Structure 1
Amino acid sequence: MDPHQDISQNKSLLWLMAIACGLCAGLNYYCQPLVHSIQQYFNVPESQVALTVTFAQVSYALGLLFLVPVGDIVNKTKFIPLLMFIAAFGLLLCGLSTNLSMLWIGTIIAGLFSVAAQVLIPLATMAVKPEKTGEVVGFLMSGLLVGILLSTSLSGLLSNLFSWRAIYLVSSVLMLILIFLLKSRLPQVPTLKMSYAQIFSSMGSLLTQEKRLVLRALIGGFAFAAMSILFSTIAVLLTSEPFHLPDALVGVVTLIGVFGALSTTFVGKFADKGHTRLLTFVGIAILACSWGILYLGGKSLVFYTMGYGLINLGLAITHSSNQSIIFRLRPDAKSRINSIYMTTYFIGGACGSALGIYAWHHGGWTMTCLAGLCLVLCSAFFAIVDTIYSSKKQIA
């Protein structure tokens, strides 16, 4: 890294990058509180509108796998604005859609190219001193996680004030403004001379050569799966007996997760001091405790809110620790490493959401909480394996 290029002291640029990460990641969640409004507007079955949420998730996963690795072989200062521009176009299509098919197309385009955030983060790690990696990653992850957590609340708020289209149109304009502000300020970093086909061949090599990448991806995947159980069950739990909360208040409950998201900057600083192993187990312990509190939350909104805040904190600590480790493995392959990690992470999330629905229908809230705890224990198992492997490697 060029010593004159360290962006860790450039607070205005880091804030812009964090906001961009939040906007890019959050746009995939806009539709969740809007399903009913869109269904009424287009007069189609609600099940068809609900597919929009699935299209957003699937297209984002495809972008993680097929677009993020390209970041290692292209000029990131041009690639990132291009991704953001196409995502803004997708948002505009959503906001101007005249039928559900047009909304689906816009959602797929926006989701596929919103992975700009996952190219921004590796770029940032290449433009800071190694001892600042965790701090900078933590700061950008705070922006990303806050963006996700605020997206549904802002989407619902703008829909109530104006129209379901509002969030898409506003976000499209904000994305274009961010492109303008970022384009000339993103740091130049080295790229590799490699073909697109060679990228995927090298990703296969990374999976076999970097055992810690695989282990950390599994730790993150199971941890996010445990959290994702709540995504698929929060509405059915809090809108039924004994809570009977309206949809708007369900969204307010989730805002407690913002405090966990904001912790990642401090977690990153601690990780930079070499405490990633401790942080990982602290994060997993918090995840496990949160499911005990969430179980009590089946009959108490206070306990549910506490548990929801804790599970976000535990996930943020675990995720930041993982990224602090994987970005130090191979400085020449950060985008590909991030692609492997985040693809596994979101596969875990998708499986967790599905498991949450299954557990709810076959055993209610008790079975749901047991499923969540089991996933946390799986994450703990791979954390122990990672600890043993890394210790042996250091001895060798």
Structure 2
Amino acid sequence: MENKLPNSLLYLLSISAGLVVANLYYNQPLLHDIASSFKVSDSEASNVALSTQIGYALGLLFIIPLGDKVSNLKIIRLNFLILVLSLLAAALSQSLFLLIFSSFLIGFTSTLPQLFVPMVAHLSNDEGRGRAIGIVMSGLLIGILGSRVLSGLVGEYFGWRTVFYGAATLMTLLFFLLNAKLPVIQPKFGESYLKLMKSLWFYLKTEPTLRLATLRGALAFGSLSAFWTTFVFLMEDSFGYGSAVAGGFGLFGIAGALGATVVGKLNSRVKKSNLIIAGAILIIVSWLIFLISSHSIIGLIIGVVLIDLGVQSVHITNQNIVFSKNTEARNRVNTIYMVGFFIGGAAGTSFGSLAWTYFGWTGVSAVGLVFSGIILGVQLLTNKRII
């Protein structure tokens, strides 16, 4: 198969994935500031992060399958319009409820990177697919982690509302660039939207590797979300640091995220089950380090690098597995996988917040260990079924 993906387009999609997905995570280092602004508890403020993740999961479910039916540019144009308006609404919110609702819409419309990943899989040949997915995922992961650094600094010195005003401006500029540079991909699915959505169940029911990948991805991201949602509270309680320092820890996670390209390349050379086992072990080790590091900055730094590297090892390998099959339905299988992924993230946010409220950092660490332990257990039990 000819490789139709030039490096210029690949890196544009990688950067764009990072910039768009950042909208999901700007709020996490700001939760304490938001709680103070609206005079609510930290636990209540964490619903802003939760609603964003739920919105993203639903956006994946109802929007991304359209990539197999509707031109990619049509989806992008409408999504960007709603996204920019939602970011502005968040910046202008005068109540926690309005911010939660705006955050839900931000999540719902920040699904575009999940069109980019099947796009590079479609345009790449078999040999280059792992590398291409890894590069886009590097951009996406750096966006996730860098967003926390940026929002933490901006929020600390200019207020949390400024973060959302800036994001709205950035998304407006990015829209014009993508509209000019992206190739038009005409999908082949000619049936109704209802039949398109029904086919999701068909693929979930008939593809055991897709089900297993979805479970692993959900647990991995749930573990990561439990950490980042509660980390800002730990920084405040244990060290007296604000959102700038909490967000700054994203810089250490970026070191792990840069390994995504390496993991992508390894997918064509190393048995995928071994990569998943290695990733699960890294996540478990990171949580053991977190457990004993509630008052150790060095321990927390090491844990952040390890957990991001572990999660990306599981995630990129999962995607390479599901994209290797059902080439005519990559957007739909990606929808199934990513909906599960972000439902796992929402669960991690919820369990992490509850654990923090009732059991502190030890409870949060227990949640992370349970999630990551299940990944390893499931993988060892089903090892022979994985490509």
Match of 1:305 in 2: 301
The answer to which of 296-305 and 30-39 deviates more is: 30-39
CA contact (8 A) 1:21 1:116 kept: yes
Could you tell me the TM-score, scaled by structure 2's length?
0.90
Identity %: 34
Cα distance, 1:274 vs. partner? 5.0
Match of 1:394 in 2: none
Match of 1:221 in 2: 218
1:233 to 230, 233, 244: 230
How many residue pairs get aligned? The number is: 385
The answer to which of 323-332 and 231-240 deviates more is: 231-240
Distance 1:114 1:312 in 2: 21
- Alpha carbons of 1:247 and 1:288: their partners in 2 closer, same or farther (altered >3 Å)? same
Distance 1:98 1:283 in 2: 42
1:63 to 59, 62, 76: 59
The C-alpha deviation readout for 1:338-360, integer Å capped at 9, x for no partner, is: 11111111111222233334444
The C-alpha deviation readout for 1:359-389, integer Å capped at 9, x for no partner, is: 4455544444343222222111222344212
Distance 1:134 1:167 in 2: 34
Mapping of residues 312-391 of structure 1, within 5 Å: 312-360=308-356, 363-390=359-386
- Alpha carbons of 1:147 and 1:65: their partners in 2 closer, same or farther (altered >3 Å)? same
- Alpha carbons of 1:98 and 1:368: their partners in 2 closer, same or farther (altered >3 Å)? closer
Q: CA RMSD in A?
A: 2.5
- Alpha carbons of 1:360 and 1:82: their partners in 2 closer, same or farther (altered >3 Å)? closer
- Alpha carbons of 1:131 and 1:28: their partners in 2 closer, same or farther (altered >3 Å)? same
CA contact (8 A) 1:80 1:119 kept: no
Match of 2:85 in 1: 89
Give yes or no for the alignment of 1:154 onto 2:150. yes
CA contact (8 A) 1:229 1:356 kept: yes
Distance 1:259 1:72 in 2: 34
- Alpha carbons of 1:134 and 1:92: their partners in 2 closer, same or farther (altered >3 Å)? same
Distance 1:162 1:274 in 2: 47
Match of 2:199 in 1: 202
- Alpha carbons of 1:139 and 1:65: their partners in 2 closer, same or farther (altered >3 Å)? same
The C-alpha deviation readout for 1:106-133, integer Å capped at 9, x for no partner, is: 4333221110111111111111112211
Distance 1:64 1:244 in 2: 37
- Alpha carbons of 1:225 and 1:55: their partners in 2 closer, same or farther (altered >3 Å)? closer
Give yes or no for the alignment of 1:175 onto 2:160. no
The answer to which of 282-291 and 248-257 deviates more is: 248-257
Give yes or no for the alignment of 1:11 onto 2:7. yes
Instruction: Identify unmatched segments of 5+ residues in structure 1.
Output: 392-396
User: Counterpart of 1:6 in structure 2: which amino acid?
Assistant: K
Could you tell me the TM-score, scaled by structure 1's length?
0.88
- Alpha carbons of 1:103 and 1:226: their partners in 2 closer, same or farther (altered >3 Å)? closer
Distance 1:98 1:143 in 2: 33
Give yes or no for the alignment of 1:145 onto 2:168. no
Larger gyration radius, structure 1 or structure 2 = 1
- Alpha carbons of 1:89 and 1:254: their partners in 2 closer, same or farther (altered >3 Å)? same
CA contact (8 A) 1:68 1:336 kept: yes
Cα distance, 1:246 vs. partner? 3.5
Match of 1:288 in 2: 284
User: Counterpart of 1:231 in structure 2: which amino acid?
Assistant: W
The C-alpha deviation readout for 1:241-270, integer Å capped at 9, x for no partner, is: 4x3433322222343111111111111011
The answer to which of 328-337 and 267-276 deviates more is: 267-276
The answer to which of 68-77 and 222-231 deviates more is: 222-231
CA contact (8 A) 1:142 1:265 kept: yes
